[in-house]
Every structure is written in structure tokens, then in C-alpha cells.
């Protein structure tokens, strides 16, 4: 069983509804979870226990509206855990001298 996670960096209500609608149409069910992202800049939308293969998962993520760079990284790295969504992030910036 596979899950699909969408990392939507947009807080506009119509954009969130559009992504949820596309997912509902393609996957034929409502998401298992919709939550605000840790950064507060968007939402995480998650469908769990889908009877699809890995390539279908990437295709659906692209069609539903997941971040293209996130999909590309997940496709390139077969050994790392894919579709990671953080509940809390600590970001450190380095200053150029």
C-alpha cells in the first residue's frame, strides 16, 4: 500500500480546495489528513493505503499539484525515504562573509 502526500505552499482557500478536489477525483476518495504545514506557509494533504504502484504515485502527485522539485528529488533518490512531511522544522542560515 502506498500513500500520497502533497506539500502545498499556498494558504489561499481556493487553491487548497482545488488540490483536494483534484485528489478526490483522481483517487476517488477524500484525503485522510489535511493539516497546516510546520512553516505556516501552506498545507499537507495526505491519502494513505492506496493500491497503486510507485510510478502511479509520482504521476498522481504531479497531477494533484505537489511541488515539482520534491517529486523530482523523490524519483532520483531510491534509497532515501520519500514524501517526508515535517511537523516541525529548524532552519539555520549561514551568512556570506
**Residue 91 burial (C-beta neighbours within 10 Å; 0-12, 13-18, 19+):** exposed
Quote the pLDDT of residue 82: 55
Tens-place pLDDT, residues 38-65: 878 899 999 999 999 989 999 999 999 9
Mean pLDDT of the chain: 84
The ranges assigned to domains in the chain are 2-76
Burial 8-29 (b: 16+ CB within 10 A, else e): beeeeeeebeebbeebeeeeee
What lies within 8 Å, CB to CB, of 24 at 6+ separation is: 30, 31
Residue with cell 515539482: 68
Bigger pLDDT: 16 or 81?
Answer: 16
Give the integer Cα–Cα distance in Å for 88 and 97. Answer: 29
Instruction: Report residue 20: phi and psi, to 5°.
Output: -60, -40
Amino acid at each position: 500500500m502506498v500513500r500520497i502526500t502533497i506539500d502545498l505552499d499556498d494558504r489561499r482557500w481556493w487553491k487548497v480546495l482545488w488540490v483536494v478536489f483534484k485528489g478526490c477525483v483522481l483517487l476517488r476518495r477524500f484525503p485522510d489528513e489535511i493539516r497546516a504545514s510546520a512553516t505556516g506557509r501552506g498545507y499537507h494533504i495526505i491519502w494513505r493505503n492506496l493500491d497503486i504502484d510507485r510510478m502511479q504515485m509520482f504521476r498522481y502527485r504531479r497531477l494533484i499539484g505537489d511541488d515539482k522539485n520534491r517529486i523530482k528529488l523523490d524519483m532520483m533518490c531510491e534509497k532515501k525515504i520519500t514524501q517526508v512531511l515535517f511537523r516541525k522544522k529548524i532552519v539555520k542560515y549561514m551568512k556570506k562573509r
